[in-house]
Each structure stands twice: as structure tokens, then as C-alpha cells.
Amino acid sequence: MTDEVPIGRVGRPHGLDGAFVVVDASDDERRWEIGACLLVDGSPATVELHRRVGGGRHAIRLDRPVERGATLTVSLTDLPPPDPDSYYAFQLVGLTAVEDGGRELGRITEVHLGLANDNVELDDGRLVPLIEDAIRAIDLEERRVVVTPGFLPDA
């Protein structure tokens, strides 16, 4: 697991003051406050300006120029620990999904946030809802998610 967590990407410029729109921005408002420290492709940067733009998106300016498309991250140690039996989405990506009993279903490639529930996507495109009926256990140390037997059709 990496020790940096993505919080957005540098998007198109916004205005003439060096600001840019943040693409795939974290919902954590603290990340965009003036004075907040983040990493741009691994190098530290400080937020100097923040404003909301069309659609409520974030536009920020950093204390140095950055390339469009650059990844904005924070250190894993900057994140508060999740509540018991809660996980950050990035922690689930890359885990192996198995049925209770051991049959491997695939690797988790993405977490999709939903209105009713979130879903994890397996490498074959199947979705598993992150609900108690579908997921029996999540074991970060063993790097696996245990899915209720028969919940998914064969790939």
C-alpha cells in the first residue's frame, strides 16, 4: 500500500491568477483551505487561494506552478483513522474478493460511491454492493474481502 492518498488532480486553469479546477476533488473541505499542505506528484505545496466555481467545484492556487494532470495527494499519516468496521475506499482497491469457502472471484479495481450503497468493482466488471448481505468480512491484513457464497454469478 502506498503512503500517499490521492485527493484530486490538477485540472484546467481557472482565471488569470494561477488557479486551477481540482478534478476528482476530495470531499474533505480541510484539504482545500488556505494554508493546507498537500503533495503534488510527491512534492509539498501549500494552498494559497480557494474558491468555489461552477457546479460547486473547487478551484485552488498553490504556492508554486504545477502541471495540468498532476496528482494531488496527502500523506496516509495525515488521515484520521476510520471508525471501527469502516474503511477508506483506497484501502479496498487491490484486495482479492473471495467467496466464503475460498473460491476466488477477482481483484477489486475500483470503489463506486452510490446513493443507496457503495459498490466495489471486480477486475471482470462485476459489481459487489458494500452491504452486510453481500460482504461477510473485510480483512486488510490478509488483503481480501469475503463475499457471501452464491451472491455473484460465475464470471
Residue range 4-76, CATH number? 2.40.30.60
pTM of the model: 0.66
Given this model, what pLDDT does residue 55 score? 86
Given this model, what pLDDT does residue 2 score? 58
Given this model, what pLDDT does residue 1 score? 45
The H-assigned helical ranges of the chain are: 89-92
Contact indicator for 76, 6 with CB cutoff of 8 Å: no
CATH fourth-level superfamily of 89-147: PRC-barrel domain (2.30.30.240)
Report mean pLDDT in 10-residue bins for the chain, 155 residues: 82 93 92 95 94 93 96 88 84 92 91 88 93 92 90 67
- Taking alpha carbons only, the member of 6, 58, 62, 8 closest to residue 35 is 62
- Cα distance between residue 72 and residue 109, in whole Å: 20
Q: Where are the domains of the chain?
A: 4-76, 89-147
Query: What order do you get walking across the sheet with 119-122 strand by strand?
Result: 127-129, 119-122, 104-112, 96-99, 144-147, 135-139
